[in-house]
A and B are shown apart, each in its own frame.
Chain A
Amino acid sequence: MAPRPCAVLGIGQTKYKRRRDDVTLDGLVREATLGAVEDAGASFDDIDAIVIGKAPDALEGVMMPLLSLCDALGAIGKPIHRVHTAGSVGASTAISAVNLVESGMYDTVLTVAYEKQSEGNATWALSGGKSGGQGAGGTFAPWIRNYIARSEAPEHIGWMVAVKDRLNALKNPYAHLHLPDISIEKVRESPMLWDPLHFLESCPSSDGAAAMVLGNDDIARKSGRPPAWVISHAKRTEFGQFPGRDTVRPQAGVECSEALYRKAGITNPREQIDCAELYVPFSWYEPMWLEGHLIAEEGEGWKMTDAGDTELGGSFPVNMSGGVLSSNPIGASGMIRCLEAANQVRGTAGEYQVPGAKISIGHAYGGAAQYYAMWMVSSELNPEL
C-alpha cells in the first residue's frame, strides 16, 4: 500500500534568544506549539498525536521532559512519542511524525522540538561532566582541517559562509543573531576557538522551540492552508568510530542523501532542487555537506560557496533563514531546517523567500556526525522535476 501523502499545514517558531527569561521551559514550547496550531487553522481537538524531540536531557537536566510537557502540548489523553538522535533530533522528530501520517495511523500530527540552552551548558553536557571537554567544535575542527587539506579550499571559505548566513538572518525576525555589521574582517579577527574555527564561524547558544502541524491529503485539502508536501525523507546512522571511518564524508550521510533523492526521482540535486536548509553549525560544514550530500562533486563544494551560488540570490541558495549559525536551540535546530524548507515551498518565507521555490530540502546531522535526517518538500504533491 502506498504511503498516505503528508503535508506541512502549520508552522510555529519562537523568537530565538540567548536566554528567554520571561517564560518557563513549558511556556517556551507552548509558544511554538500554539503558533503551529493556529497557522494550520486548527485547534488542539484536531491533533491526533504528538511527536516531540530534543537533544540530550543533560542539556537542561530535565529527565523525560515529554511527561512534564504534556499539558503545554495539549497531549493529555493522546499518544505522545519522544525522539532522540542528538543534534539531528529536530529533523528525525519531524520525519517520525511524517511516518505516523504516511502510515495512515493518524490524520493530523503535531511535532515539536526545543532547547532551552540557557538552563544548562552544552559543552558541559557533551564533556560527560568532566574537565577538558572539547564540545562539538573541538570534535569537528580536526575533520574540518582534514576537509580543507583534502579539498585544497582557501581559508576564506569559512569566513564567507559565516558572513552570508548572518546577512540572511537579518531578513528573519526569529533569528537569534542579528549582526548588521558582520564582515569577512570581523570573522577573521574574532577569537580562534578551535583552530581553524573562529568565534564568528560558530553557532550561538539559543533558547527556542519550533513546531509543525502535519496532515494527510484530506486534511490538507480541507485546511485551505498552503501545503508543503513531504515528497521524500530519509534517515541513516553509522557508528561514531570504527576502522575505516571517513569523518570528512561519512558514508551514512552519502547514503541518506542517495535514499532521499532516489525516492523523489531526483537525479541531479544541484539542478532539480531549488534551495536547501542544511545543518551548518560551523561555517565549513556548508561546503562539506554540499559534497557529503551529493549536491557538489567531491572537492567542488567550496567552489559553490566561493562563487556566491549559495547566497540568497545565487543558483543554489543554502540557509536562507540564517541557519544554525544564526540560531541554535540544539534540539530544535534540525526541525527549523525542515520547517524553513517548508516555508520556502509554501511561499511563506517573507524577506528570505527564494522566488518560485518549488522543491527544497531540510537536513540535520547529530552525534559525532553519525546520525542523518533529511526531508524534501514541494509545493506540489507530484512536482515535475
Chain B
Amino acid sequence: MPTLHDVDFILEYPYTRTTGPVIGPFLTGLRDGRILGQRCGARVLCPPMEFDPDAFATLAPDLVEVGPGGEVVNWTWVAEPSAKHPFDRPFGFAFIKLDGADTALVHAVDTGGDAAAMGVGMRVKAQFRDERHGSIADVYFVPEADAADQAIEPGEEPVTITEHLISLRIQEPLYPHRARFAQGLLDGKIIGQRSPVTGKVYVPGRGYDNMSRVLMDESDEVEVSDVGTVVAFTELNPVQYYGQTETEPYVRCSILFDGTDQPVIGIDIRDMTVDEMRVGMRMRCIWRDPEERSVAEIDNRYGNVPETVYARFESTGEPDVPAEQIKEHSW
C-alpha cells in the first residue's frame, strides 16, 4: 500500500466578536489597566455577566472596579504549555476571587515555573501586559509579593469588537483507500470502487458502499475511463474569504466517467466559458506530464480529481448524451 503523504492542515479563521454593553466595558477596562465586575443584586460578578445566572434577569450595565489583588480558590498546573498558552514556561490556571468580587475569574498565574508556589488561599495580583488590545489576555496574575507597580496609559476608543484567530491543526495519515486513489492519479489512472452488492462503481470510493452498507477495499477497486460526460456545471465568481486564493471566474463541473455510477464533482475548467459548456457533453482528461502531477491537496475529506494532476479537459467530439440518460447523476 502506498504511503504518499500525511495530512497536515491548519484550519483557521479570524473570527470577530461583538462585545455588547457589559463585556465591552470589561475588555475596555483591561486595556486601560482596570478589572471591572458587574453588580448583580448585592453581589459583584467578575468576570461580569450580562444575565443574572440565578434569576435569569437581564442585568443593566453597572460595572465597578475590583482587584487588582485577589485570592486563589482553586488551581491546576500546566506543566507543558502549548504555543497558545499565555506563558512559555509551566504555570498555573486558577480560580481567582478578586478583592471586591463575589465570584471567581479563571486566569493564569505565573510563579516562574514553580508549582510549589501555588496553593489555595494564596494571594495574587494582576499584572498588565505592555501591549494590550482589549482582551482577556491583556492581564495575568503573579504572587502578590512579586507584583510590580505599573503605570498604565488608558486607550482612546471603547472596545466594541474583538478579533480571534482560532485554529485547529489536523494531522493524520491518508486513509488507505484515499492513498490508493491519490497514487492512481499520480499514475494517470482514475481508481473507483465497485460495490460487491450492487456492482455500482463509486469514484472516488469512500471505502464503503453507502447504499448497501458494506465495506469496500482494494479487492473492489477498478480503474475507470478518463473519458466521461458532463452532468452538471456552473461558473464560480469566487467569494473572497480568509484563505481564498481564487480571484477570477471559472467553470466547475461534475463528470460521470464511463463505467461509473457516481459523478466526480468539483472538476475545474479554466479554458472554457460557461457558455461553451453543455450538460451531456463528452470530455476527456488530458493528464499533466507524470513529473508535474501532484496530489498534495488531497486529504481524507476533500479533493477528488484536482487540477494538479490534469492539464485540461477537452471535448471528445462525440455527440452529447441525452439529458434523460443522466438525470439520476445530476450532482
**Which A positions have Cβ atoms within 8 angstroms of B?**
19-27, 30, 34, 44, 58, 60-61, 71-72, 74, 76, 116, 118-121, 123-125, 127-135, 138, 141-143, 145-146, 149-150, 191-195, 239, 241-248
Contact = CB atoms under 8 A, between A and B. Distances in A.
A247 B262 contact: no
22 contacts: A19-B18, A23-B20, A24-B20, A61-B166, A76-B54, A116-B18, A119-B18, A124-B241, A131-B243, A133-B239, A134-B236, A138-B234, A142-B233, A142-B252, A142-B253, A149-B279, A192-B235, A193-B237, A194-B237, A244-B328, A247-B232, A248-B330
Contact of B51 (A25, A26, A119): A26
Interface string B132-168: 0000000000000000000000000000110010100
A61 B268 CA distance: 29
A331 B262 CA distance: 30
Contacts of B234: 134, 138, 141-142, 145, 194-195
B327 A135 contact: no
A307 B302 CA distance: 43
Nearest to B273: A195
A123 B50 CA distance: 31
A212 B214 CA distance: 42
Interface string B219-257: 000000000000011111111011111100000111000
Nearest to B20: A24
Interface stretch (B8-16, B66-74, B173-181, B311-319): B8-16
A243 B211 contact: yes
B84 interface: no
A298 to B, nearest CB: 12
Interface string B12-26: 110111111101000
Nearest to B211: A242
Chain A residues touching B, majority SS:
loop
B77 interface: no
A123 B279 contact: no
B323 interface: yes
A76 B56 contact: yes
B233 A71 contact: no
A116 B241 CA distance: 17
Contacts of A123: 239, 241, 244
B75 interface: no
Contacts of A193: 237, 239
A192 to B, nearest CB: 6
Given A21-B161, A142-B234, A132 B268 contact: yes
B51 A145 contact: no
Interface string B264-282: 0110100000100001000
Given A142-B233, A145-B234, 5 more contacts: A24-B20, A26-B51, A74-B51, A150-B327, A245-B328
Contacts of A34: 58
A134 B237 CA distance: 9
A191 B18 contact: no
Contacts of B11: 128-129
B261 interface: yes
A68 to B, nearest CB: 11
B13 A24 contact: no
Contacts of A121: 13, 241-242
Contacts of A143: 232, 330-331
Nearest to A125: B13
A130 B266 CA distance: 13
A124 B243 contact: yes
Would you list the 8 A-B pairs with minimal beta carbon distance, nearest first? A142-B232, A243-B261, A141-B234, A24-B20, A74-B56, A129-B11, A195-B235, A61-B15
Contacts of B301: 128
A27 B23 CA distance: 11
A130 B53 contact: no
Contacts of B128: none
B210 interface: yes
A135 B233 CA distance: 14
Nearest to A240: B331
B232 A146 contact: yes
B56 A21 contact: no
Contacts of B239: 123, 133, 135, 193
